[in-house]
Chain A
Amino acid sequence: MSINSLEGIRVLDFGTAWAGPMLGHILADMGAEVIKVESRSHIDGARLGRPIVGDDIAGGDRGKWVDMQPQFHGLNRNKYSITVDLKQPKGMALIKELVKKSDVVLDNSSPGVMKRLGLDYESLKEIKPDIITISLSGLGAYGPFSDAIVYAPIITALCGLVSQIGYYGEPVLGAQTSSYGDCNASIHGVFAVLAALYYRKRTGEGQHIDLSEVEAGTSVLAEAILDYAMNHRVAEPQGNNHPAMAPHNNYRCTGDDKWVSIAIKTEEEWKSFCQAIGNPDWTKEERFADAFSRLHNREELDRLITDWTLNYTPYEAMEILQKAGVAGVPVMNVEDQYFDPHFKERQTFVEVNHPLVGLEVLYGFPFKLSKTPAAIHRVCPSLGEHNHYVFGELLGLSQDEIERLTKDGVLE
């Protein structure tokens, strides 16, 4: 039997979309029992949209199969699902019974929602004095903008990161394909919860965590903030330029939209690089003789290096360069990663069997613990799949009671 780090810890997950659910699944990946609280009348948006199998037959925003949305499968693995109508007094009473048996309650609702439901920290503390609650919101629980509706790209725009994304000397671009804002906030949230659990172990006391996703985003922009604090310099897009390294760029390779990233820091690496690419005459020119000159002439340098990389695939270039101790690594898309031998050996992606979809591949874990590793014990749950386990086994309701409550719409 493998020991899980958070064995015995129970989490009530009121999260929807990305940030809350990701926090929940990371705790579940490490052994916590995470119960996702859902409702047929208020379905997690991540359950909607184009399903994995088949086309978007409903058209517009809504897909048909709530158990087959790919984003949901990744973000809610290892969890239990219950359906409860929180607006019904009996439903809310059952949730409060569950809180008595739980250690952590998480949500990423708009500020004020949990309080209106009577599920805020002050209320829950009455039920379970040592409860730990965490609320993730776009801008925080209070403040003049806390009512703003926020999604991941908005977070990175407001936190100051997007203003730095673009080609050197050109207008800002943004990184819209990334959910980075939610992801960064989520992992910071896990850390806060674990710290709170550690504190509770020592003192028996719980507490509340108010996490603003924008604040989590700005807290990791130390260089730009200190540069402004010291020199009133406003960080602008730098493209792939580096203040101290040249060569430093993504270079075009043979094939359609194929690139290899190359970065050279020391004179030793530069010499190895020149040797690896066959010591062409241009590498002996004055204007590339040291880091300062190379930085000064980086555009021409990049053009000349591209003449070399265009002859190779990214993986061929990586092999030649790494053999010489030079940092050359392909720009990978998810297909490259899926077939990559390093990713395969590390089991970066995990294959599981889902009862409705069959074989599916999920992303794995951001750390490898040697003795108590993370694992996917169960796939993402169907809507309300664990009503019987949670209300029956955990709360002691009989089969008849559960059926009656379901018919009455309380467990829906």
Chain B
Amino acid sequence: MADKALAGVKVLEWANCISGPYCTKVMADLGAEVIKIEEPGFGDEARRYGPFPNDIPHPEKSGLFLALNTNKLGVTLNVKTPTGRQILEKLLTQADIFVENYPPKVIRDLGLDYDHLKEINSKIVMTSITPFGQTGPYRDFKAYEINCSAAGGVSVGIGQPDREPLVMPASQGAYLAGISAAVGTLFALFAREAIGEGQLVDVSEVEVWTNVVTGLAVITYIYRGVTGIRQGRRTGYAYFPSGTYPCKDGYMCLTAPQQAQWERFLELMGKPEWAKNPRYTSRRRMNEEIADECDNLIMPWLMERTKEEIFSLCRKNRIPFAPLRAINELFEDPQFRARDFFVEVDHKETGTLKYPGAPFKLSKTPWAIERAAPLLGEHNEDIFVKRLGYSKEELATLRRAGVI
């Protein structure tokens, strides 16, 4: 078995849904030990979201939970009970990292904020992921995905100009917050070498959207007053063609930042003379002033060809057009297949299913799924009995008392 990049790193996770669990999943998938704490009875909220096989809800068969909690050990613990709190503190003394994504007020009221945790374990890195962060006038505001996408400056750029802006779909803000938190956490782990202590890693999903994706726009705003606006299926402030275009059997994404790429496309269409037509020399003007007319130049050619035909021709001619892949097409995609991207994971309750694979390929310490997501409380005995020293009888009592 190949070596693991993060072997020896011990993570404790108390989180729901996506941002916290994804943060620790990426660490677990590279070999860190992640103990996931779930509330007795209910568990992680993601267990109720699905998708479920045949749409029949089952807390052990939620696709979101299964995908986001690979490689983790799972225990149940009610941290709000005094005994539960004691157990949590024991676990904290054995951890390098503690990741949570509860509202700041919940954490403060429980006395689980960093100022308290550092008294329990001065070396612990505490990573807190919230919509607005641990400080600032909005820190206790309520916000879901659609709200974070709104304040993050993302939604304003998606949709038709005269209709409502659209949330970035597929919970991307939560994943982005999760991976950003994982990055911040590893930075804190490095810093610990120099300063001999842990610290707080404060991650705001809104801030992540801004400082990873949309914030570059601030500099053009300050100097040119540009605020950006959604353009439907086109890209604003770009060269024609830029955007989503239909073809014979689906949609293509068109972009051609370099003039040479556009001219090669005209050659491909058999219309190289258009590049010399004075009406079609400024591609910025074509996109901003006469876009519909210019669409009519290229649509007939696109509508006669399938996605794969166009993609193949464009690759051959070094034109950066590509098909919009639907989800079902991903599994058949030759590139994903050649790279063994999708992986099969076997789980006690669902059987074998295909999961998304590694976001990166490390040559010496490859990403791997060694174990499927845990059943609720699956490792209670391993952790509470074998590691913390409770007896099996005490385990039963803890269960009956609602502590685990």
Contact = CB atoms under 8 A, between A and B. Distances in A.
A329 B362 contact: no
Contacts of A233: 51
Contact of B26 (A161, A167, A191): A191
A194 B363 CA distance: 14
B168 to A, nearest CB: 7
Contacts of B163: 167
B5 interface: yes
A207 interface: yes
A160 B330 CA distance: 7
Contacts of B258: 61
Contacts of B181: 367
Interface string A146-170: 1111110110111111111111000
Contact of B334 (A52, A144, A245, A341): A144
B113 to A, nearest CB: 11
A158 B323 contact: yes
Given A160-B326, A209-B363, A240 B166 contact: yes
A318 to B, nearest CB: 8
Interface in B172-210: 172, 175-176, 179-184, 186-191, 194-195, 197, 199-204, 207-208, 210
A162 B244 contact: yes
Interface stretch (A212-220, A277-285, A384-392): A212-220
B48 to A, nearest CB: 9
Contacts of B187: 5-6, 30, 194, 367, 369, 372
A361 B360 contact: no
Contacts of B51: 223, 226-227, 230-231, 233
B187 to A, nearest CB: 4
B108 interface: no
Given A151-B320, A369-B201, A228 B188 contact: no
B362 A209 contact: yes
Contacts of A205: 364
Given A153-B255, A222-B63, A366-B184, A195 B219 contact: no
A329 B141 CA distance: 9
B142 A225 contact: no
Given A220-B172, A370-B199, A265 B330 contact: no
A363 B352 CA distance: 43
Contacts of B168: 165, 175, 178, 180
B257 interface: yes
Nearest to A157: B253
- Give the one of A26, A150, A206, A369 with max B CB within 10 A: A369
B213 interface: yes
A157 B324 contact: yes
Interface string B1-30: 001011111000000000000100010001
Contact of B8 (A161, A202, A269, A360): A202
Interface in A55-73: 60-61, 70-71, 73
B165 A190 contact: no
B285 to A, nearest CB: 11
A71 to B, nearest CB: 6
B339 A212 contact: yes
B112 interface: no
A53 interface: yes
A337 interface: yes
A231 B114 contact: no
Nearest to A364: B211
A346 to B, nearest CB: 5
Given A142-B338, A180-B172, A219 B357 contact: yes
28 contacts: A5-B191, A52-B223, A139-B335, A150-B320, A151-B255, A154-B253, A157-B322, A163-B325, A171-B246, A177-B231, A177-B235, A180-B213, A184-B172, A210-B361, A211-B361, A220-B172, A226-B67, A250-B164, A261-B155, A331-B150, A331-B151, A331-B155, A331-B165, A346-B204, A366-B180, A367-B184, A369-B187, A369-B202
